[in-house]
Amino acid sequence: MSQDLLSPIQEFKCRGKMVVESNELDVEFLIKQMGNGRLVGELETTAPWRTLNKIFESHKRFRLIGSDENHLAVNVDHCYLTSLSGCTKTLAGFNAFEALTRPERLSGKPKEKLVVVFALLNVDKTFQVELDTPLGILYLRPIKGHEEKLRLIKILEISGVTAFAEIFINNPFVLGSFDEILSKSVDVVQGFLYIAELADTCYHSWCSASIYEKMENSDKYELVLQKMQRPKMKPPSYRGITNPAHSSYFFESAYEGYRGREKELKDLYDFDIALEWYLEANMATVLESQYLMACTCLELLVDRFEEKTRTGFIMDQNMFRDDLYRVLVSRARQHMKELGLSSDQRKEIYMKLRGLNRRSVRTGIESLLTNLKVMYNDLFDDIGTIINIRNKITHSGTYANIDELSEVFNKLYVLLTRVFLSILNYRRDYFDWVKGAWVDFKDVCG
């Protein structure tokens, strides 16, 4: 069964052209998407071995344009060779980042209802998740045998396709071409995956998107086109703040707080980047690295919040620069000369003085948590503990008391979870790893 994660889930055998810069070579190629989402292939050509060897040695990217025996057009982009052999014919292996079937349909427009199906990696077990998205209802469907695949994914830490997201678009005619519909569908499913990543505390991605159009005078759908991509390859690591029985409620509440606020959350918090640091902290295998990544996540959220709310400075920056800073420099200059400090030493002091107006990280954290109404006194008697431990790790590279660090990291990670849920206006239960129990989020966020 573990081989399923590394076996092809679909493949296309084609004849066509290999395009390298302005050159074209006649080739036969096989492109396969594996169970972990990767795009790999093999090609065969009568072109001289030395021609492909130059491509191989220079790591040049190329694309493939062809069609299979059923005349299905297939384009494969951003390819690079991984192996090379042959005598009368040249054989090569390659990896690719993107593939598209029926590219000629991109500019067309739909005439009937559509469903866009995404293959998703590493999504944990759920139950009856359906969401009202800007394009239509999204249904999350587990693949056949997903429980066994998930078991192996968690044991082997190898990504694999575990679910499909189906978006039913009832009124696609106002959305433009299939190309535009595909782009808008990708945006929707990416937003959905942010919520899924938060639910599982694990990296998720999509590896293929297929557009199906309802056949005229029929309840059946036919494939319009399919886009495959190499997903972000990260070892899956789970904590999870929901469970299958509760998943429909979690997704509904969390997604409701995300939908329509995409730009706001990006501008105010850099939500997607902060979430990535949050996931990285869970994935790291060294505890000190986990802690520093969690701190990076928190400080990024604080920094973006202060930047947008203009609360990062103690006093007006112009007033500080024009008045207080000048007084400080004037008072310090003569005294430093009397102390015999060199010109370079004095410059360093002046640079330090410039930073006096910035609020402390501790104050910034408290301000963010207060604004979001996130409770933290059940986790930390002193919120400054977070920064003190970060500084010790930064300056020494390690932390002597591993048990203490593990406990504080767990509390910090729970604090970050509360911050993300508060940002999304979440109002359901979640699993709290410090309390070791299900908690009504309203009890920790006023």
Which residue(s) pair with 438 in the sheet? 431
As a whole number, mean pLDDT of residues 27-33 equals: 96
Candidate from 132-141, 270-279, 327-336, 436-445 with smallest mean pLDDT: 327-336
Is the pLDDT assigned to residue 411 strictly greater than 80?
yes
Is the pLDDT assigned to residue 98 strictly greater than 60?
yes
Is the pLDDT assigned to residue 49 strictly greater than 90?
no
Give the pLDDT score at 313. Answer: 73
Band (298; pLDDT cuts 50, 70, 90): very high
Q: Which amino acid is at 372?
A: L
Is the pLDDT assigned to residue 355 strictly greater than 70?
no
Give the pLDDT score at 356. Answer: 66
- Between residues 295 and 339, which one has the greater pLDDT? 295
Kindly give, in sequence order, each residue whose CB lies less than 8 Å from that of residue 25, ignoring residues fewer than 6 positions away.
17, 18, 45, 47, 51, 52
Contact 111, 100 (CB under 8 A): no
Instruction: Write the secondary structure of 255-323 as one string of H (helix), E (strand) and C (coil).
Output: HHCCCCCHHHHHHHHCHHHHHHHHHHHHHCCCHHHHHHHHHHHHHHHHHHHHHHHCCCECCCHHHHHHH
Give the pLDDT score at 357. Answer: 65
Is the pLDDT assigned to residue 446 strictly greater than 80?
no
Is the pLDDT assigned to residue 316 strictly greater than 80?
no
As a whole number, mean pLDDT of residues 216-229 equals: 93
The pLDDT tens digits of the residues spanning 76-94 come to: 999 999 999 877 789 999 9
As a whole number, mean pLDDT of residues 421-430 equals: 95
Kindly give, in sequence order, each residue whose CB lies less than 8 Å from that of residue 201, ignoring residues fewer than 6 positions away.
237, 238, 239, 240, 241, 278, 279, 282
As a whole number, mean pLDDT of residues 192-205 equals: 96
Chain centre to alpha carbon of residue 292: 19
The pLDDT tens digits of the residues spanning 269-297 come to: 999 999 999 999 999 999 999 999 999 99
- Between residues 103 and 363, which one has the greater pLDDT? 103
Band (312; pLDDT cuts 50, 70, 90): low
Q: Which residue has the tokens 């509360």?
A: 418
Contact 29, 14 (CB under 8 A): yes
As a whole number, mean pLDDT of residues 341-363 equals: 78
Q: How far apart are CA 42 and CA 206, in angstroms?
A: 23
The structural domains of the chain, ordered by start, are: 2-101 (2.40.10), 108-260 (no CATH), 261-312+359-446 (no CATH), 316-358 (no CATH)
As a whole number, mean pLDDT of residues 95-122 equals: 96
As a whole number, mean pLDDT of residues 171-195 equals: 95
Say what percent of the chain tops pLDDT 70.
Answer: 96
Band (320; pLDDT cuts 50, 70, 90): low
Is the pLDDT assigned to residue 4 strictly greater than 70?
no
Q: Which residue has the tokens 């159009």?
A: 213
Band (3; pLDDT cuts 50, 70, 90): low
Q: What is the pTM of this model?
A: 0.90
Band (204; pLDDT cuts 50, 70, 90): very high
Is the pLDDT assigned to residue 331 strictly greater than 90?
no
Give the pLDDT score at 340. Answer: 82
Contact 387, 299 (CB under 8 A): no
Give the pLDDT score at 401. Answer: 93
Band (426; pLDDT cuts 50, 70, 90): very high
Give the pLDDT score at 116. Answer: 98
Please state, in angstroms and as integers, the Cα–Cα distance from residue 181 to each residue in 219, 224, 226, 345, following that order. Answer: 21, 12, 12, 60
